[in-house]
Structure 1
Amino acid sequence: MPKPTFFNLAESKRDKLMEAIHTEFSRVPLNEASISNIVKEADIARGSFYQYFSGKEDAFLYMLEQFAMDSKDVFLELTKEADGNLIAGLNAFFRRFLEDIDGIDFIRNTFHNMNLQTEEVIQKIFKDEVEELRFEDVRSCVGGKYAKLSSEEFYYIMDIMLGVTVHNILHKFGNRLEIDTACEHYRRELELLEHLVK
C-alpha cells in the first residue's frame, strides 16, 4: 500500500504519478520496470517516489489493486445489465476485460508474471472484512438459481468461477489466443460449471 504521504498529494499530482506507474508497468513486467522511468514520466524527484511507495513492487501491487477494483465494478455493472444472469455477466466481463485497449499491456504483463502475491491481490478484491461476507455484493445482484444458493454455496461457486476466470486469462496470454477463441473457451467452461449448480 502507498504511504500516507501519497494520499496527501493533490489529486492532479496523484493522478500524474499513477499514470506514470501505469505506463511503466504496461511497457515492461515488474522485474524489468524502472523507478527512474516512473519518476521521469511523473516529473518528480527519485526521493519523492520513496516518500509515496516503499519500492516498485509496492507501486505495482497498488496499481493492480486499483485496476482489480475497477474491474469488479465493471463486472457488477455488466451482471446487473444482464438482469442478474451471473453467467452472462461473467462472459460479458471476460470479453470487456480482454478488449480493454488502455489496460491490455498492463494486464498481459501482470498475468505473464503471475505469482502468489499478485493472485492474492486479485482474490482480495472480492473479500469483505468478514470472510463470510465475501462475494455478498455480487450475490446481491444475481438472480435465478444462484440467488437461491446459501451464502456458503455461493462463496464456493464464486471462488471456483474466479479461479476459472484467472486460468482463462492466463491461457489467453500464454497461448496468444485470439479474443474470440479465448471467449469461446471461457464460455464453454462456465457452461459446464453451470450444469453443476442445481
Structure 2
Amino acid sequence: MPAGSGTFRRVKSRDLAYVALFAAIVAVLGLLPPVNVPGFPVPITAQTLGVMLAGSVLGAKRGGLALLVFLALVAMGAPLLSGGRGGLSVFAGPTAGYLYSWPIAAFVIGLLTQLFWRRFNLAWALVANLIGGILVIYAIGIPFTSLFGDVPLWASFTGSLTFIPGDVVKAVVASLVAVAVRRAYPVIELPSRRATAS
C-alpha cells in the first residue's frame, strides 16, 4: 500500500462527510415554510442561506458538490425543498432556474472565497456571497421564471427584487459564519506555496 494512501482515504472521507453535512443543512432549512409573494410564482425560502454557507465554508468543489447531491435527492423524489416539494416536476417549473443556479452559485462563492483566502475577512466574505449568492442566482433564476412561469422578463426581474432584502441578510449571516469557521476550524485548506512549487 502506498505510504500516503491512508491519508488520502481520510481526506476523501472527510470531504464526503462535509458534502453530506451541507446537503443536509440545505434540507433542514427547507423545513422553514416558504413565504409566497403575491402575483409572483417563486416563494421566498431560507434554502439559499444553505447555498451561501456551502460555498463560503467548503470552497468551490465541495460546496458545488453538496448542492448537486441535494438536487439529486430532490430529483429522486425526496420532499426536501421548502414546502415539502420534490420530484422531477420541480425542475421544469417557475422555480427551476433558481434550483439550477444553486450548485453554480455555491461553486462561485467558494471560488471567490478561495481567491480571497489569504486576506479573508467579513468584507471579502460578503463580496463573495453577494456575487455568488445573489447575482449568479438571479441571473439564472429570472429568465427561467419568465420562461416556465409565463411571466414577462421585466415582470420576472421586478418581482425578484422582493427577495433582495432577505438575501442580503442571508449573505451577511453566511459571511459571519464563514469568518468564524475560518478562525476556529478552517475547512478550506489551500496548498502551501512549497507544495505548489514542488
TM range (shorter): 0.3 to 0.5
TM-score by length of 1: 0.47
- TM-score relative to the length of structure 2: 0.47
